[in-house]
Amino acid sequence: MKKGIILVIDDEDIVRTSCSRALTPSGYEVKLAKNGHEGLSIMGGDKIDLVLTDLKMPDMDGIEVLKKIKQDWPGVEVIIITGYQTVDTAVKSIKLGAFDYIEKPFTPDALINAVSKALDHKNKSQQT
């Protein structure tokens, strides 16, 4: 049984692959999208539990993706991946409903830890 379906949205192939390779061995199903639009179309098709999205992307940035997901799929948790975390963007993303943010470069353990916490939170909130 899969622990959860995770959608990774990042314009960088290496980040997507890293996430996939880090999370898959731990029993997560990982779906990948190159940009916000692709990510949202996957959201419309499959049942996604958690979204990992980059903050800075061409066309649609992470904050917009976050807003759209929280608007259309309020039950889905979002973790922001950022290359240069600043206090204000972190605060802004948390205010908009992101569960957490994770700074690049991250270790597989740090990623798994953040993902697991987010999914636990999702499960707990669904039970209540």
Partner 1 sequence: MVYIFKQMLVKKSLHSLTGKLILTIGTLMVVGSSIFWYLLFRHQETELIQSSVKYGHSFVEYVIKSNRYGMLTFQQLLIQQTIEAIGSAEGVLRVRIFDSRGKIAYSSDKKDIGTVVDKKAPVCVGCHSAEGTHPKDTPTVLISKDNRDFRVLNIVQPIYNEVACYTSTCHAHPRQQKVLGLVEANLSLAVLDKSIKNQGLAITIYVLVFLFVISVVLCTILWNLVSTPVSLLTRGMEKVAGGDLDYHLDINTKDEIGELAQAFNAMTSDLKKAKNELVEWGNTLEKKVQEKTEAIHRAQAQLIHSEKLASLGRMAAGVAHEINSPLTGIVTFGHLLLKKFPQGSEENEDIQVIIEQANRCSTIIKGLLGFARASAAEKAPVNINDVISHSLNIVKNKADFFNIKIVTNFDDFLSKVRADSSQLQQVFLNLIMNAADAIEGKGTITMSTRNIRDNSGDWVEIEFRDTGPGIDDENLAKIFEPFFTTKPVGKGTGLGLAVSHGIIQEHGGSISVKTKRGEGTSFFIKLPAYKEMP
Q: Which residues bind partner 1 (CB under 8 A)?
A: 10, 12, 14-15, 17-19, 21-22, 56, 83-84, 86-88, 103-109, 111
Smallest distance from the beta carbon of 128 to partner 1, in angstroms? 33
Task: Give me the helix-helix angle, 62-72 and 87-95, nearest 10°.
Answer: 10
Would you say 73 or 106 has its CB closer to partner 1?
Answer: 106
Would you say 1 or 14 has its CB closer to partner 1?
Answer: 14
Q: Which two tokens stand for residue 84?
A: 């240069």
Smallest distance from the beta carbon of 25 to partner 1, in angstroms? 8
How far from chain centre, in Å, is Cα 114? Answer: 10
Q: CA 14 → CA 9, 23, 60, 72, distances in Å? A: 12, 14, 19, 28
